[in-house]
Amino acid sequence: MTDAVGAQDPPGAPGPLGAPGPLGAPVRRREDDRLLRGHGRFVADIRLPGQLTAVFVRSRRTHAVLRAVDVTAARRDPRTVAVVTAADFPDGPPLLPSASGPVPGLVSAQPALAIDRVRYVGEPVAVVVAADRYIAEDIAELVTVDYEPLPAVVDLDTALRPDAPVLHPEDGRAGGGVPAGAGGEADGFPGRPSPANVEQVVRAVRGDVVAALAAAPCTFSVRLSLARQAGTPLETRGLVAAWDATAGRLTLWTSTQIPHGVKDAVRTALGLPADAVRVVLPDVGGAFGTKMQPYPEEFVVAWLSRRLGRPVAWAEDRAEHLVATTHGRDQRHDVEVGHDADGRILAVRDRIASDIGAYSFTNAASEAIGTPAAVPGPYRVPAYAAESLAVFTNKTPSGSFRGVGVAPATFVMERIIDLVAARVGADPAEVRLRNLVGPEQMPFDSGTTLHLSAVSIPWPPYDSGDYPALLRRALELAGYEELRREQARRRSATDTATATDADGPGRWPLGIGLGMFVEPSGGGTAELSRVRVDEEGTVEVTAGIAPSGQGHETMLAQIVADELRLPVEDVVVRLGDTDRVRWGAGTMASRSASVGGGAARLAARELRGRALRVAASLLGVPVTDVTLTGTGFARTDGTGPVLPWREVARAHRRADPDRPAGSDDGGRTEAETGTGTTGEGAQTGERELAAEVEFRPAGTPFGYGVHVSVVEVDPGTGAVVPLRHLALDDCGTVVNPLLLAGQVHGGIGFAIGDALLGSVRYTPDGAPVDPAAGYPLPTASGMPAQLRVHHADVPARTPWNADGVKGAGEGGVIGGTAAIANAVADAIAAAAGTPRPPVPDPQAADPGTVTRLPLTPPEVLRLLSLRRAVTSTGGRRPLTGPATEEED
């Protein structure tokens, strides 16, 4: 186990030819020098001749009919270049594509500009184009909108009422319907149509949960919830569109995670052929899922550039970001749990409702779809059923969000584990060990089936790992037993001290929380990579993944250098240009190293094989007698010259065109890791030494990990102070421990925001609360004083890619959020003098425990008050009892 903070890891594992290679080495990010010196190039840095600026006029109403959009005054302004509304599109504004798989016939896709109704504050209504932003902002103030207010639906309870206002009456349906193959006696969910504001229903089922709950010795119910969150990357969204009338071609520079996805969506909306749109990705300052879908602005600005014949730019300000960019979380779970007297979980049934906002906005239902099957996490749950509703409200649409689906699922399951531990009077760590999937069960097939609107999908098996061993090692590294003793000492000192003596950091109640998780990464999606060598011997890698700060250039360079036995600095990586690589899914779901890196490995391997055949021909020996060194190709017996890469590349180009040296006809390669389509990859028609592979894993890699959080709680103010945080991950083969540590550090910061800070809040009539300044963000000063990131001594490699790599980009927020929540709950219990007491009543539990996030100071004070009241009276009431909303 290596502490990735301030430690030097050993050199990488042996490469494919047996010699040590760069894979696994702590290579510093090659991107950093450029970015830290201010030489990065973001969307806002792009300045083209004749460039104009667009500003959007957005709805200021939650739900209303658009009576009129008056642009007369705006168009009269001599500084105006254009003012556009939905009426200016000959065939109406484009509808945003939906990737969430709603039920057939659902008409709830968002138009790029509102047509006859607005459904959330921030929805685009019109757009103004002028020479610069200052002028465009002034002109936008001249646009007036006449609204006819409609009843607003601003929360789940209202949306799910039978008499609720219907957000999309035009779709003519009775609700999201019933998933295929679901509903019946085994899961206990009714096979009936859902309310009209439900976009879709998703169910996950394993075993007979009704019978298991009925037979369980102990049962309880609890409502758990997570608030609405915003991704708030350092760089908000932005783009520049430039139409070339001579070439009939559009170039779009945009801050996105899916360049090819944006290309396909924009060309389809504008009716252009596939080769008429090029998307270029500049440097991207963070994304976190918020840039994983096409947005209205990309369609409209591209259309404007084509119409005006000039480049048009748009950049989102921070206030716009909080109302116009997708949100995440906002989920409620009504959970029933059955367990035995030793804390072994026998059954879980979860009724989930996700607030997806106003439209089926590309990935709006991704949280609702991604959560149900993920709730059991790393634990054996013999009987499990979940019903997940994706619910429309008059809020900004939801979308993918770091840890999508898995983070809320992990919070729910980890709270369940701690609640069970309290009920049976056992340590939370011990209860986890009693329930974890064991290494002898790997690969572990839970038997869970995910039922969507028209299809049923088996949940993929966990591929490899030793969950109990990792937990034990994390407890050892954290000094868990000593932490429990310190907690007891503080509690004892508080009991005997005066109020003044007990007050202050170092004396406040201490909380210790665990968060254990599994993280699926990129299964089922393909990725493409191309590796080429030019006549100067330069090795170039292109791929479809799209970096936003993770270190993709460094990661791909290490993998390709490892395969080709080259120094890492000799590999050039070019990403984010749809003209350089013909296809790519992009960056999401912790897939870049496992799938994108897997494609690069296979492309480099194919290239190496071709190069070895060329070198063998030049050296006059069989391929088996040629070896690849750091400087080129040589005979294995050490005689003869060493051929540099440039000579081999030139020889390949000079070869007989009917039989290229070292070249195959291309074809399909099959391996136990997955499938890949290979070919020369000479896209220009020139016969360069190159290989292109589209890699699709045959299974899903599951990383896993343990987080240990230690916090103090100020009983006077409710403030939570993170003291220590430890993360122990097993993500298979580690390509670069420094990159891994950076991802986990950032994820833990994200977790602090999810668990402790604010949320996107709305007034009772659906207006966002202070969108410009009301959303607190985690800062460096709010991070734990001691933050340690470790990875497994002997990682559990996945069989689903050549390097055994599993994803790790979201583990920090997935495990961290749950661990912090459990630590706060533990501190509250300690403050009330009731650390993990057994609960005699099997149908009741302490109302003073953590059931909702975020744990802001008012929420912590509320819980402390409830816990103390219970302790002083000895009474208890159900966890599902009503709770007042916090007042800030």
Tell me which of 5-14, 370-379, 449-458, 714-723 is least confident. 5-14
Integer Cα distance of 417 and 606 in angstroms: 48
Judged against a pLDDT cut of 90, whether residue 666 lies above it is answered with: no
The band of 36, judged by pLDDT with boundaries at 50, 70 and 90, is: very high
Count of Cβ atoms closer than 10 Å to residue 336 Cβ: 18
Residue type, 359: Y
Q: How far apart are the first and last CA of the chain?
A: 43
Here the tokens at position 533 are: 């060598």
**If we measure between CA atoms, which residue out of 132, 134, 128 comes closest to residue 75?**
128
pLDDT in tens, 800-834: 999 999 999 999 999 999 999 999 999 999 987 76
Whether 467 contacts 378, CB under 8 Å: yes
Integer Cα distance of 845 and 833 in angstroms: 16
Residues 316 and 362 in one domain: no
- Predicted TM-score (pTM) of the model is 0.91
Residue 68's contacts (CB-CB under 8 Å, 6 or more residues apart) are: 145, 146
Integer Cα distance of 845 and 861 in angstroms: 19
Q: Is residue 627 part of a domain?
A: yes
Integer Cα distance of 156 and 125 in angstroms: 26
Judged against a pLDDT cut of 70, whether residue 382 lies above it is answered with: yes
Whether 193 contacts 367, CB under 8 Å: no
The residue behind tokens 């591209």 is 302
CA angle (512, 516, 520) in 5-degree steps: 155
Residue type, 125: V
Whether 596 contacts 552, CB under 8 Å: yes
Compute the average pLDDT of residues 670-675. 51
Residues 393 and 502 in one domain: yes
Whether 625 contacts 616, CB under 8 Å: yes
Compute the average pLDDT of residues 100-121. 75
Q: What share of the chain is helix, strand, coil (3-state, %, to 5)?
A: 30, 25, 45
Residue type, 827: A
Residues 534 and 489 in one domain: no
Integer Cα distance of 490 and 793 in angstroms: 34
Judged against a pLDDT cut of 90, whether residue 171 lies above it is answered with: no
Residue type, 888: D
**If we measure between CA atoms, which residue out of 866, 818, 862 comes closest to residue 845?**
866
DSSP state of 73: H
Here the tokens at position 519 are: 């993280």
Compute the average pLDDT of residues 309-323. 96
DSSP state of 713: E
Task: Write out the H or E segment, with its range, that includes residue 750.
Answer: helix 737-756
Q: Is residue 880 part of a domain?
A: no
Q: Is the N-terminal amide bond of 854 cis, ω within 30° of 0?
A: yes
Q: Is residue 571 part of a domain?
A: yes
Integer Cα distance of 556 and 611 in angstroms: 20
Residues 536 and 480 in one domain: no
Count of Cβ atoms closer than 10 Å to residue 49 Cβ: 7
Q: Count of domains in the chain?
A: 3
Integer Cα distance of 704 and 720 in angstroms: 27
pLDDT in tens, 470-498: 999 999 999 999 999 999 999 888 765 54
Bridge partners of 333, per DSSP, are 224, 352
Residues 534 and 661 in one domain: yes
Residues 734 and 655 in one domain: no
What CA–CA distances, in Å, run from 130 to 188, 320, 431?
59, 19, 63
The band of 586, judged by pLDDT with boundaries at 50, 70 and 90, is: confident
Integer Cα distance of 686 and 650 in angstroms: 12
pLDDT in tens, 251-310: 999 999 999 999 999 999 999 999 999 999 999 999 998 899 899 999 999 999 999 999
Judged against a pLDDT cut of 60, whether residue 844 lies above it is answered with: no
Integer Cα distance of 221 and 209 in angstroms: 14
Q: What's the confidence (pLDDT) of residue 405?
A: 93
DSSP state of 444: B
Look up the domain containing 667 and give its range: 523-697
Q: What's the confidence (pLDDT) of residue 186?
A: 63
Q: What's the confidence (pLDDT) of residue 498?
A: 46
CATH of the domain at 73: 3.90.1170.50
Integer Cα distance of 376 and 413 in angstroms: 6
Judged against a pLDDT cut of 60, whether residue 840 lies above it is answered with: no
Whether 438 contacts 467, CB under 8 Å: yes
pLDDT in tens, 560-577: 999 999 999 999 999 999
Task: Write out the H or E segment, with its range, that includes residue 562.
Answer: helix 552-564
Judged against a pLDDT cut of 90, whether residue 705 lies above it is answered with: yes
Residue type, 240: V
Q: Is residue 166 part of a domain?
A: no
Q: Is residue 125 part of a domain?
A: yes
**If we measure between CA atoms, which residue out of 446, 462, 458 comes closest to residue 796?**
462
Integer Cα distance of 562 and 555 in angstroms: 11
* C-alpha 639, offset from chain centre: 53
* C-alpha 9, offset from chain centre: 28
pLDDT in tens, 215-263: 999 999 999 999 999 999 999 999 999 999 999 999 999 999 999 999 9
Integer Cα distance of 57 and 113 in angstroms: 10
Task: Write out the H or E segment, with its range, that includes residue 41.
Answer: none
Question: For residue 72, which phi and psi values (nearest 5 degrees)?
Answer: -60, -50
Whether 640 contacts 620, CB under 8 Å: no
The band of 888, judged by pLDDT with boundaries at 50, 70 and 90, is: very low
Integer Cα distance of 580 and 261 in angstroms: 15
Integer Cα distance of 403 and 746 in angstroms: 12
Residues 508 and 387 in one domain: yes
The band of 455, judged by pLDDT with boundaries at 50, 70 and 90, is: confident
The band of 885, judged by pLDDT with boundaries at 50, 70 and 90, is: very low
Tell me which of 185-194, 366-375, 461-470, 606-615 is least confident. 185-194
Residues 530 and 502 in one domain: no
For 415-534, strand residue ranges (E) read 449-451, 456-458, 510-520, 527-533
Among 697, 728, 756, identify where a domain stops.
697
For the chain, percent of residues with pLDDT exceeding 70 = 85
For 625-673, strand residue ranges (E) read 626-628, 633-635, 667-671
Q: What's the confidence (pLDDT) of residue 771?
A: 62
Question: For residue 308, which phi and psi values (nearest 5 degrees)?
Answer: -90, -20
Here the tokens at position 779 are: 């800062």
Give me the DSSP letters along 582-609. Answer: S----S-TT-IIIIIHHHHHHHHHHHHH
**Average pLDDT, rounded, for the chain:** 87
Q: Is residue 445 part of a domain?
A: yes
Q: Is the N-terminal amide bond of 49 cis, ω within 30° of 0?
A: no
For the chain, percent of residues with pLDDT exceeding 90 = 73
The band of 684, judged by pLDDT with boundaries at 50, 70 and 90, is: very low
The band of 345, judged by pLDDT with boundaries at 50, 70 and 90, is: very high
Residues 488 and 596 in one domain: no
Residues 66 and 103 in one domain: yes
Q: Is residue 253 part of a domain?
A: yes
Residue 157's contacts (CB-CB under 8 Å, 6 or more residues apart) are: none
Residues 782 and 819 in one domain: yes
Integer Cα distance of 398 and 330 in angstroms: 9
* C-alpha 381, offset from chain centre: 25
> What would you measure as the largest C-alpha separation in the chain, in angstroms?
92
**If we measure between CA atoms, which residue out of 380, 367, 523, 368 comes closest to residue 460?**
523
Burial of 757 (0-12, 13-18, 19+ CB in 10 A): buried
Looking from the CA of 252 toward its CB, the CA atoms found within 13 Å total: 34
Give me the DSSP letters along 794-863. Answer: S----TTSTT-B---SSHHHHHHHHHHHHHHHHHHHHHTT-SS---S-TT-B-TTS--EE---HHHHHHH
Among 648, 666, 697, identify where a domain stops.
697
The band of 524, judged by pLDDT with boundaries at 50, 70 and 90, is: low
Among 300, 324, 348, identify where a domain stops.
324
**If we measure between CA atoms, which residue out of 716, 666, 705, 723 comes closest to residue 816?**
705
Q: What's the confidence (pLDDT) of residue 178?
A: 53
Compute the average pLDDT of residues 679-683. 39
CATH of the domain at 664: 3.30.365.10
Judged against a pLDDT cut of 60, whether residue 32 lies above it is answered with: yes
The band of 183, judged by pLDDT with boundaries at 50, 70 and 90, is: low
Length of the chain: 888
Residue type, 179: P
Residues 728 and 813 in one domain: yes
Bridge partners of 669, per DSSP, are 676
Q: Is residue 476 part of a domain?
A: yes
Phi-psi region of 168 (alpha: psi -120 to 50; beta: other; left: phi over 0): beta
Here the tokens at position 209 are: 């949960």
The band of 70, judged by pLDDT with boundaries at 50, 70 and 90, is: very high
The band of 523, judged by pLDDT with boundaries at 50, 70 and 90, is: low
Integer Cα distance of 572 and 539 in angstroms: 6
Integer Cα distance of 306 and 427 in angstroms: 65
pLDDT in tens, 141-153: 999 999 999 999 9
